[in-house]
Structure 1
C-alpha cells in the first residue's frame, strides 16, 4: 500500500529560490483572504440585491395583473400598460384566449431562478419565463382568465453591475500589491545573491569583486562577516607565503655551502655519495615547500586549457615519457596557470612512474571541464584510494626514494585543485591501471 504524505509532496512542489518562496508567503494569505471575502460578500450581496430587485419586479407585475383583473376594460388596460411602460420599463401585452407556451425551465440561469421564486409570492396565476438566451431581455407569460398576459423586461433590472466592479477593483488592487511585493522582495534578495556569488568565487580561488554591504540588517551582518573572513584568510596566506619564502632561503643557504665544500673536495672518496644525498635533500625540501605553499597568492584568470595541457605533456615527453594527449575543441576557463601546471604535472608524474604508457585527455561538460590521466600500471585498490590523498602516504611502504616519491604528490595535487574550486577523484582506468579525474568549474 502506497502512503501519500501531503507535507512531503508540498515540500517537493514548493519553489527552491528564496524570492519565489517569499512571494508565495505573501500571495497565499492574500489569495485566501480575497477568496473568503469575495465568497462572503458575493453570497450576502447577491442574495440581498437579487431578492430586492426581483421582489420589486414581481410586485410590479403582480400589481398590473391584479389591476386589469379587478377593473376590466380596454381603457383601464391601456392606461395600466402605458403607466408600467413609462414608469417601470415593463412592456405588457394581453392575448385573449392565449395559452402558456411550453418553455423548458433554464435551471442554469440564476436570474430566472430568482425571479421565478419571487413571482410565486406575488402572482396567483400559472406562469412561465422565456429567458431569450443570448438577448438582454426576458418575457414572463401569465395565464389569466382574461387571456395570456405577457410582460417583457430588461435583465438589467434583475441584477447590479457593482458586483463586477468589485471583482475588477479587487483583482486590480491584488496585482498592484503583488507587483509592489515583488519589487520589494527582489531588492531584499539581491544583496544575498551578491553575497552568495562572492563567496562562491572566493571559494573557487577567483578574485571576488568588492562586495557592497546592503540589504536588511541580517544580510549586512553576514556581508561584513564574509568580508572580514576573506581579509583574514588573505592575510594568513600572505603571512604563510612570506614565511615559506624565508624558510626556503634559510634551508638552501647551508645546502649551497655544503655544495661548495664538496666541490673543494673533488676526487675524495665518498664525495659523490654526499652530493647525491644533498640532491635528494633538495628534492625533499622542495616537495615539502610545495605542500605547505599550496596555491599561494596566484590569481585566477581566463586561460587556454589546451595550451597548458600541451605544455605540461611536452615537458614530460622531453624527459622520455610516453604520453598520448587528446584535447577537445578550444576551451578557456578561469584557472591559476602555475597551480594547474603543478597539479597536472604531479598527476602525470605519478602515472609515468607507475605505468609504461600514459593517456591524457580533456572533456568539456555542461558546467565543468574534466582532465583525465590514465595509465596501464598496477592501479590502487578502491579501499585505499582516499587514503592516498593523505600526506606522506605511499602504496610502497618503504622509504626508498627510488621506488616512488615521498607521498605528497596526490596531496599537493588535490590541494591545488581545490584552490581552483575543483576536485580530484581516483577511478579504474579502461587501460587496466588508474584513472585520475580532475574536475574544474567553468
Structure 2
C-alpha cells in the first residue's frame, strides 16, 4: 500500500517533524488511557451508582403510588424521600413530553440515562443539564411526578480531574522534552546554514558540535570544504601561471610579426589575437569569483550601468523591464562578468539583445533575450559545459570563441546558489538565458 499522498500533509521543517515525533506518541497514549478510563471508571462506576440510585427511586415510587390523593404525594413519600435526600414534587403531565437533557461533554450521563430507564420503567425524562442535580420525571399511576437528588449519587465527583492532570503533565513533559530536543537539533541547523552558505560561495565560520554522529558529519563537511577550497586555489594558480607564461611568447610573436609585410602580417596577427582572447577566457574561467566578496547590491542599478556601458561600446542592448526594488548580497564583478558574457553572445549571434530584471521576496532573476538562431532544446545542457561549441546552433563565423561564455555564467550562478536556465525567447524568437538566484 502506498502512502505517498501522506507526504503532502507532513511538515517540512526539522523542528516541526521532531515535534510531531514527540507529540504523536503522547497523544496516542492519552487517547488509549482516556478510552480505558472512560470504559472502566465512567461506565462501570456510573453503572453501579446508577443501579443503587434506581433502587432508591423505586422505593420512593412505591410510597408515591400508595398516596391516597395526588395532593398528598409529597407527604406520603416524605418518610422515605427525606432520609434519601430526594425531593418529590407533582408536575403537570406536559412534563412527560420533555426530551432527555445532558451536556455534550457528559459521557457518564449516557450510562446514567440508560440504566435508570432500564431499572425504572416509569422514568420518562432524565434531565442532567444541571451538573449538581439529577431531575427525573416519572409517569406514575398518580400522574407525572418529579424526583430530584444530588448528582454525586449516580456518578463520581469531579470526573474531569484525571483529564486535567493528564493534559497538564503532558504539556509540561512536552515542553521539557522540546527544550532538550532543540539543543540536539541546533547543531543540524548550524551545519545546514554553513553548507548553504558554502554552496552560495560564502565561507561561514563553523565548528562541529552536538552528538557524536553530528560531530562526525560536521567534521566531514569541514574537510570537504577545505579540499574544495584547495582545489579551487590550485586551479586558479595553475591556469594563472599558464596564461602568464604564454603571454610572454605571444608578445614576442607580435613584435616579430610587426616586421613582416602587411599581406603576411595581418592574418598572423589575427591568429595571435585569437590566442590572446582564448588565454583571457581560460583565466576568467579559472578565477571564477574567488577574487570577489559578496556585498549588498542593487541588481537593477547594476544592470542599468552594464547596459549603459554596452551601449557606449556600440552594442544594441536595451533594458526593457525592471520589477521590484531592494538589495541583496552579490559578487558584483562575478555577476557583471556573467551578464557580459551572455550579452556578448546575444549580440554576436543576433542583431539586438534585451535585458530584464525581476526582484521579489524569494528570488532574483536576470533575463537576456536575443533574436538570433537560438540553441536546440536538446543541447541546453551541453551548451553550459566548458569548451563546448555548438556548430549546428550558432554560426561560428560570427566570432571566435572557446565555448566558455555560458560555462562561466553557469559557474557564477551556481556560486551564488542559483542556476542558469536556457530557453526559447517568446518575444524575440532567439535564445533566452535566465540567471535565477534565491534570496
CA deviation map 1:93-151 (0-9, x unaligned):
8x9xx999972585665334323444x5xxxxx84465456442435758589x99975
Instruction: Return closer, same or farther for 1:55/1:244 CA change in 2, 3 Å cut-off.
Output: same
Match of 1:249 among 244, 248, 255: 244
SS of 2:176 mapped into structure 1: helix
Structure 2 CA distance for aligned equivalents of residues 56 and 153 of structure 1: 13
CA gap of 1:36–1:256, structure 2 versus 1, over 3 A, is: same
| Aligned residues of 1:238 and 1:297 also touching (Cα < 8 A) | no
> 1:358–1:374: 8 Å Cα contact kept in structure 2?
yes
Query: What pairs with 1:1-20 in structure 2 (closer than 5 Å)?
Result: 7-20=3-16
1:332 to 317, 327, 333: 327
Distance 1:142 1:331 in 2: 81
TM-score by length of 2: 0.80
Of 293, 299, 306, the match for 1:299: 293
1:273 & 1:330 partners in 2: Cα distance?
Answer: 49
Matched residue of 1:138: which SS?
Answer: strand
Q: Encode CA deviations 1:287-322: one digit per residue, 9 max, x unaligned.
A: 222233323342222212133223332333233222
Stretch moving more, 102-111 or 404-413: 102-111
1:199 aligns with 2:211: no
1:369 corresponds in structure 2 to 364
Partner SS state of residue 432, structure 2? strand
Which residue number corresponds to residue 104 of structure 2? none
CA distance in 2, matches of 1:99, 1:396: 104
Q: Quote the residue 1:113 is aligned against.
A: 114
Give the unaligned 5+ runs of structure 2.
69-73, 102-108
Once the 2 structures are TM-superposed, how far is the Cα of residue 347 of structure 1 from its aligned partner?
0.9
Question: How far apart in 2 are the matches of 1:203 and 1:148?
Answer: 84
Q: Distance in 1 between matches of 2:220 and 2:59?
A: 83
Tell me: CA distance 1:380–1:161, structure 2 relative to 1, closer, same or farther (3 Å).
same
Secondary structure of 1:161's counterpart equals coil
Tell whether the 8 Å contact from 1:138 to 1:155 is kept in structure 2 after alignment: no
- Aligned match of 2:410: 414
Cα distance, 1:50–1:246 mapped onto 2, change above 3 Å: same
1:232 maps to 2:227: yes
Distance 1:143 1:31 in 2: 48
Contact 1:323 1:359 in 2 (8 A): yes
- Alpha carbons of 1:209 and 1:128: their partners in 2 closer, same or farther (altered >3 Å)? same
Whether contact under 8 Å (2:137, 2:144) holds in the other structure is no
Contact kept? 2:349, 2:398, Cα under 8 Å: no
**1:156 aligned to which of 146, 152, 158:** 152
Tell me the distance in 2 between the aligned counterparts of 1:288 and 1:101. 101
After TM superposition, the structure 1 = structure 2 runs for residues 130-141 of structure 1, keeping only pairs within 5 Å, are 131=126, 134-135=129-130, 136-139=133-136
Secondary structure in structure 2 of the residue aligned to 1:237? helix
Which one of 248, 273, 282 corresponds to residue 279 of structure 1? 273
In 2, Cα distance between equivalents of 1:326 and 1:99: 88
Contact 2:296–2:328 (CA under 8 A) maintained in structure 1: yes
Q: Distance in 2 between matches of 1:68 and 1:409?
A: 105
The residue that corresponds to 1:288 in the other structure is 282
Change (3 A) 1:234 1:131: same
Distance 1:144 1:29, change over 3 A: same
Aligned pairs for 1:373-384 within 5 A: 373-384=368-379
* 1:261-282 deviations in Å (ceiling 9; x for gaps): 556x487984555544433322
Q: Deviations over 1:133-172 (max 9, x none)?
A: 6442435758589x99975422232211242211221222
Among candidates 417, 424, 437, match of residue 434 of structure 2: 437
Q: Distance in 1 between matches of 2:92 and 2:415?
A: 96
Instruction: Measure the CA separation in 2 of the matches of 1:55 and 1:8.
Output: 52
TM-score between the two structures when normalised by the length of structure 1: 0.80
CA contact (8 A) 2:342 2:433 kept: yes
Match of 2:105 in 1: none
Q: What is the number of equivalent residue pairs in this alignment?
A: 420
Equivalent of 2:419, from 406, 420, 423?
423
Q: CA deviation at 1:346?
A: 0.9
The change in CA–CA distance for 1:360 and 1:190 in structure 2 (over 3 A counts) is same
User: What is the root-mean-square deviation in Å for CA atoms of aligned residues?
Assistant: 3.8
Q: How far 1:343 moved relative to its partner?
A: 0.9
Deviates further, 134-143 or 330-339: 134-143
Match of 1:317 in 2: 311
Q: Output one character per residue of 1:47-72: Cα deviation in whole Å (capped at 9) or x when no partner.
A: 332244234434455667779999x9
Say if 1:426 and 1:49 are closer, same or farther in 2 by CA, change over 3 A.
closer
C-alpha distance 112-283 of structure 1, shift in aligned 2 (>3 A) = closer
Structure 1: give runs of 5+ residues left out of the alignment. 121-125
Moved more, 386-395 or 60-69: 60-69
Structure 2 residue aligned with 1:352: 347
